[in-house]
Amino acid sequence: MDPDDRELTLRKGQMKWVARIQRARDTDGFRLYFQTIAPVDRIGEGAGYFEVLLRMIDDDGSDIPPGAFIPAAERYGLMPEIDDWVEQPALAIGV
């Protein structure tokens, strides 16, 4: 396959993600998970820090990992909108 054809195929795929990202943003189609971060020698001593993990919800209800949609969001300038979406529920629960 010609390199130009590969690039065109990649961009077409990313454009499909743009529409899905925008739909997810408009319909609360994202889900947040929280993962505790603690030193191994202190597990069980209470919550230390945690990180917020983002997933998109697929049409069938399954999770779509960020590696599938973040590259398109970055390329097409949608990350600020995703960040705004993440901030609202995270701040609502006191993150």
| Domain ranges for the chain | 3-21+29-92
pLDDT, residue 44, reads: 64
pTM as predicted: 0.73
pLDDT, residue 94, reads: 65
| Torsion sign across C-alpha atoms 73, 83, 34, 20 | negative
Q: What is the largest CA-CA distance in the chain?
A: 56
| Per-position pLDDT tens, the chain of length 95 | 677 777 777 777 778 899 999 999 999 999 999 888 877 776 666 656 788 899 999 999 999 999 999 999 999 999 999 999 998 877 777 65
Question: Ramachandran region of residue 12, left (φ > 0), alpha (ψ -120 to 50) or beta?
Answer: alpha
